[in-house]
Amino acid sequence: MSRFLSCASLMQIKLRKIGNGYGVLLPKQVIEALRVAEGDVLNLTETTTGIELSPFDANFSKQVEAFRRTEPRHRNSYRKLKK
């Protein structure tokens, strides 16, 4: 099975009230495409086109935190690298 869902597999899921919060049930096809299992942590990222759901990557998370700690001190260097 493809790791990514195609546009042809666009689906609707229902938002449900769970305790004081809300949740959605993800179809098996989505779970398989994300390569996750019960108890895994997922990231929700706001993008210009909507919300992206992806598996939590501890290594990537550590890299982002390291960047956030050093960004104020190295702001000018990062700007030069961006060009």
Phi first, then psi: give them for residue 35, nearest 5 degrees: 55, 50
Question: Per-residue pLDDT for the chain (83 aa), expressed as one digit of tens each?
Answer: 444 555 556 788 999 999 999 999 999 988 998 899 999 999 888 989 888 888 877 777 677 778 788 878 887 887 888 77
Q: Which amino acid is at 4?
A: F
Alpha carbons 45 and 53: distance in angstroms, whole number: 7
Whether this model's pTM surpasses 0.95: no
CA 71 from chain centre, in angstroms, equals: 22
- CB neighbour class for 20 (10 Å; exposed up to 12, middle 13-18, buried from 19): exposed
